[in-house]
Amino acid sequence: MNRDEAERKRLLAEFAKCRSCRFCVDVCPTYQASCGVESFSGYGRMQIIKYLLTGLLEFDDALTYCLYSCLQCRRCEVVCKSKGQNLDICDLIQRGRRLLSGRLARGGRHAKL
């Protein structure tokens, strides 16, 4: 199993811990600025990475915008922790980006996850 494959499995295991309470959605500054599009929230971004990793979504411009517009401000994590779930949401999004960034820099428009 190569490094990316192992990371993919670890990330999916982390995403499975999310109980979809969506408390992290309202507090996200990008969600507020985009007038309520859930893809621009911690929960939405975790879902996007999950479905990219499982192959249900294909990596395109809209998804790139959603993933790379995360501010990494960790406001979602404060709420997640206060609700007892304790997911490091920004860290998970960052790890998803790490899987993507190398391919994006090499492949540009044709990059795939």
Partner 1 sequence: MRNSKLLISQALKTISGNLERTGDPLGLRSPYWTRWTRRIDLPRHGSPLLFTARMYQMLPFVVQATEMAEKAAPLVPALSVKTIAKVVEIAGAAAAEPILRLRARRARDLRNRAETALAGIVAALAAAGILPGYLYEKEPYSGVLLYDLGMEAAAASAARGVHQTLKEAGVDTVITVDPHTTFMLRQVYPRYIPGFRLPVRHYLEVLAGVGAMPKPLRRTGLPVRIVMHDSCVMTRDLGVVAPARTVLSRLGIEVVEPENTKTDTACCGGPVEYAFADLSRSISCIRAAELAGACRNVLVACPICLINLMKHEKDLGIRVWDMGELLFHAFASRLREAAPQRPSEEPDGKGAAGVRAARI
**Could you list the residues that contact partner 1 (CB under 8 A)?**
29-30, 32-34, 59-62, 64-65, 68-75, 77-78, 94, 97-102, 104-105, 107-109, 111
Minimum distance from CB of 56 to partner 1 (Å)?
18
Q: Which is nearer to partner 1, 32 or 54 (CB)?
A: 32
Q: Which amino acid is at 69?
A: S
* Smallest gap from residue 36 Cβ to partner 1 (A): 13
Q: How far is the CB of 94 from partner 1 (least distance, A)?
A: 6
Of the candidates 8, 24, 20, the residue with the CA atom closest to the CA atom of residue 96: 8
Report the residue number, 18 or 67, with the smaller CB distance to partner 1: 67
Q: For the chain, where are the alpha helices, taking DSSP H only?
A: 3-15, 23-27, 29-33, 42-53, 61-68, 75-82, 89-107
Distance CA 64, CA 18 (A): 22
